[in-house]
Structure 1
Amino acid sequence: MTPDTVGPLSRPVAVERALKAGQEVVVEASPEEREALARDFGLPAIHSLVGRFRLAGSLHRLQVTGTVEAAIAQTCVVTLDPFDSTMREEVDVDFAAPDAFAGTAAEDAEIPDPIVNGRVDLGSLTAEFLALGLDPYPRKPGVAFEPPAGDAPETPFSRLKSLKDGA
């Protein structure tokens, strides 16, 4: 984790300390962090963002499970009106020390996220799962897309259809 790679929400957690404590780790975004994430994700607002995580494993192999929950404002793709919604994403991510797979057949396979300097960034993980949980085409509840009424535009295929129907 270098300053260049850390986004607006960063909560580095020492793996050893978190494993010894054995307690749930809670990441709650501050208003400034929510505002920065909303800008990054093109949202009108993020009202709340909380990640709740449990860590299990060892210093070299770690499994992080939990949930990310958010109350957000999105823009409807049909009406362009903002509306409030909630989202909840389940988290199940494996981490490993960067050299854990060196020299093995698994070296070329998809490997877990890295444990860097004995730490994992649960803030970045929270932001990542928020992004994964966002609907790419949000619609305000009760709104459906209605195609414009009238004649359909002429396309090359409509010309072919007219030739087929006329023959």
Structure 2
Amino acid sequence: MTRPIHVDDIKMRGTRVTVQAAPAERAGIADLLGLPALESLEARYVLARNGERVKLEGEIAAAFHQTCTVTLEAFPVTLTVPMSLDFAPVTP
């Protein structure tokens, strides 16, 4: 589930981005994680530039079904996780 963004397209004051997983992407991720269903997966974040460095602040939200290990019944789960990342160019 990649969405490339060129550094030159990121504003110094910040660029807001929302990414929603398509149904085929959600199905693949659910299969990979062994989930009965992944109803939604969305990332909302702001990218801000400082020279060649980029800071990402935002969150990932998901709604899915998980299987109970005792009853083997699926139950709904919603999850929101904050994220904060710093990117810098590789220096030799």
The alignment's TM-score, normalised by the length of structure 1, stands at 0.51
Structure-2 residue corresponding to 1:85: 77
- Give the counterpart letter for 1:85 in structure 2: V
**Greater fraction helix:** 1
Distance in structure 1 (CA, Å) of the matches to 2:52 and 2:58: 20
The alignment partner of 1:77 has SS state of: coil
Distance in structure 1 (CA, Å) of the matches to 2:86 and 2:26: 26
**Greater fraction strand:** 2
Distance in structure 2 (CA, Å) of the matches to 1:21 and 1:95: 16
Distance in structure 1 (CA, Å) of the matches to 2:39 and 2:21: 10
Offset at 1:21?
7.9
- Give the counterpart letter for 2:49 in structure 1: G
Work out the percentage of aligned pairs sharing the same amino acid. 38
1:68 aligns with 2:60: yes
Offset at 1:30?
0.3
Distance in structure 1 (CA, Å) of the matches to 2:51 and 2:31: 35
Structure-2 residue corresponding to 1:34: 26
Question: What is the total number of aligned residue pairs between the two structures?
Answer: 92
1:25 aligns with 2:22: no
Gaps of at least 5 residues in structure 2 are none
Gaps of at least 5 residues in structure 1 are 1-8, 103-167
The alignment's TM-score, normalised by the length of structure 2, stands at 0.89
1:53 aligns with 2:77: no
Structure-1 residue corresponding to 2:7: 15
The alignment partner of 1:56 has SS state of: strand
